[in-house]
Amino acid sequence: MPTGQSERDERIFERERAMLEEIQKNPNLHHNALIKLLVPKFMAKTTFEKTKNQLIEKDVLMVNQKGNKKFYSISENYQKKYLQQIERITHENYQYLQHQIKRIKENHYHKDVKEKVVIYVQLFKELLHTDNGFTFLDSVKNSKKTLYKDEHLSIQEMISESFEIIINDKDYELIYPMVIKNIGLNISINSQR
């Protein structure tokens, strides 16, 4: 059963898909003609405007002005540009996390338990998210070879190093279970399938 968030995401994807499909099928449609095709069949007029604006912000759609009419087209090289953006952001996150662990090592001991849990939960989520970014890039660029092997290994080391900091903390017995539970790795030993 889908959750509320996944249902909302599904509706957003469906509206974006409908809009992109119509633009692809009808490249010479101006703004008002596109509205007539999509409203109210797929969405309300305000939803149309929001969907269009989101696709423009994501650089999926380009706007071409001819006279007083707006025409839309799917951006050229969108996939390549998007992959470059994912790669850039993933590398920036990776570099940030390397520095973040050093800062945590130096500054975390004086914080209270709640602050430590928040810091570590955020850190582990960012590490896992960044590793997923590299896995995604590996899969898209060349699924037969791991292109980001060094980064994957480095993230494993950062995770290990972070757990080492937690294990050596005076509040370990409080911090560890809360961190594990809040990063989604709470697996019960007695769970039945």
pLDDT at site 167: 93
User: Residue 144 — φ and ψ, nearest 5°?
Assistant: -90, -10
Q: What is the pTM assigned to this prediction?
A: 0.67
Q: What is the pLDDT of residues 16-71, one digit of tens each?
A: 888 899 998 988 889 999 999 898 888 899 999 999 998 888 888 889 999 999 99
Q: Side-chain half-sphere of 51: how many Cα atoms within 13 Å?
A: 23
Domain boundaries, the chain: 4-74, 78-182
Strands, E, within 31-171: which ranges? 61-66, 69-74
pLDDT at site 188: 55
Low-confidence ranges of the chain (pLDDT < 50): 1-2, 186, 192-193
Please tell me the CATH code under which domain 4-74 is placed. 1.10.10
pLDDT at site 5: 67
